[in-house]
Amino acid sequence: MLILFDHGTPRSVARWLHGHTGVEAIARGWDRLANGALLKAAEEGVDLLLSTDKNIQYQQNLKGRRIAIVILGNSQRPAVHGYIDRVIAAVNAATPGSFAEVEKIFKDERSGATTKRPALLRCLKALQDGD
């Protein structure tokens, strides 16, 4: 699968995506394209867009697109490496036109509650502790 890394995606993710080929938007001269133009250009030969733009699903009509899109919840390399197994799974499961957003999941050990936002777990803990 040919994967396009947008400008905010940590390039180091490519080393875990075995069996796939990664190319950066800048290498194709697409680093200055707006999302709509980037998606249109990428659909001509790219299988998947790996991006950190969480708003793309709200700004673009993704219905009928041939390119798969995987959105990373963070653009910081150490953070993404912390949930790289979920990124790999999302990329490997991608099909033409699919959309997935991958973020770190935080789990409260005592209650078993999970969330994408650690602040919610702190609130839950405070309620449980009677604070």
Residue whose C-alpha is closest to residue 28's, from 15, 16, 38: 38
> Which pLDDT value is given to residue 27?
92
Largest CA distance in the chain: 57
Q: Are 105 and 116 in contact, with CB atoms under 8 Å apart?
A: yes
Q: Are strands 48-51 and 68-72 parallel, antiparallel or unpaired?
A: parallel
Residues of the chain with pLDDT under 70: 104-131
Report d(CA 33, CA 57) in Å as an integer: 17
Average pLDDT, rounded, for the chain? 81
> Which pLDDT value is given to residue 119?
52
> Which pLDDT value is given to residue 73?
83
> Which pLDDT value is given to residue 112?
61
